[in-house]
A = this chain, B = another copy of it.
Amino acid sequence: MTKPIKLCNISDYQSFIDKFDTFLLDCDGVLWKGNDVIPGVQESLSYMRKKGKKLLFVTNNSAKSRANYLEKFKKLNIEAYEDEIFGSSYASAYYLKNVLKFPKEKKIYIVGESGIADELALEGIRHCGFSDNMQTFKSDDIVSDPEVGAVICGIDHYVNYTKLAKALHYLKTNSDCIFLVTNDDATYPFKDYIAPGAGSIAASIIKALGREPDGIMGKPNKPMMDCIAQKFKLNNERTCMIGDRLETDVQFGINGGISTLAVLTGITAEKDFIVNDAPIVPDYYMSSFGDFSKLF
């Protein structure tokens, strides 16, 4: 297996950046950690913009729409634009409309949060379920609705039994009802502990249904990359994914047939991919994305 190339100095940084036109960037662990910007990040991004590079911020967070997620950039004083953000909620809406050609007369049942509802609405796709916030399950709440043509499940901090039962009912009884999951993250870091992720909410529906989803959108899966490639007409040879997680970010780049750069400011350490039997190896790695600021 080829060893990854380490970017160590200004000359490495320059020749790396010259190789690509488009950079897909993970956010948490690359640009910031929690509420703290990683030093040099603003300057690194500015340098890339000055060089005419296309930047796309790719996140599995389905709770937020692109507009919501942009607020995080503003709060941290990082330059970004709504059209540069590609979240799993938007990817789901884009995929339904442009890849699956979801019929106008059908609607989506959401087990998830406002990000999904907002992005579906922006694509002109009708939805329901988002307001099913009943605390107690009543059997009468489960009524058939033949208009539901797909169920989307994402992270849902308001999940309840009624939502799970409705999702199951539609998927079991509506013919050709599509089952999409925004991302398969089992957990996510929340303040100082680990909380269940979208993949854990979806696991309930998968178990009850007895089959896998028709599509899992988020990194490392192919559907999100297909949407990005279709929308932005990527040239794979000139595109690089930059992230801190091997299983999601680097694998996403590998699955999509583009180059990959791992940074060591998040989850992954050098030892995780430098060993001989490492299952996932990036093409390049460097200490911090902020180090590109040395070119500025």
Contacts and interface: CB of A to CB of B under 8 A. Distances in A.
A158 B138 CA distance: 11
A187 interface: yes
Interface in A223-269: none
A67 to B, nearest CB: 22
A160 B165 CA distance: 13
Interface stretch (A16-24, A26-34, A129-137): A129-137
Q: How many copies does the complex hold?
A: 2
30 contacts: A133-B135, A136-B157, A137-B157, A137-B158, A139-B190, A142-B190, A157-B161, A159-B160, A159-B161, A159-B164, A164-B196, A164-B200, A165-B193, A168-B187, A168-B195, A169-B194, A172-B194, A173-B193, A186-B207, A194-B208, A196-B205, A196-B207, A196-B208, A199-B207, A200-B204, A200-B208, A203-B203, A203-B206, A203-B207, A204-B204
A168 B142 contact: no
A202 B136 CA distance: 18
A225 B149 CA distance: 43
Interface residues of A, number: 37
Interface string A161-197: 1001100110011000000000000110011011111
Given A135-B160, A203-B203, 17 more contacts: A135-B158, A136-B158, A137-B158, A139-B191, A142-B190, A142-B195, A156-B161, A158-B161, A168-B196, A169-B194, A172-B193, A172-B194, A187-B208, A196-B204, A201-B204, A203-B204, A203-B206
Contacts of A205: 196, 200
A74 B69 CA distance: 57
A156 B208 CA distance: 14
Nearest to A140: B191
Contacts of A133: 135
Contacts of A186: 207-208, 210
A196 B194 CA distance: 25
A169 B205 CA distance: 22
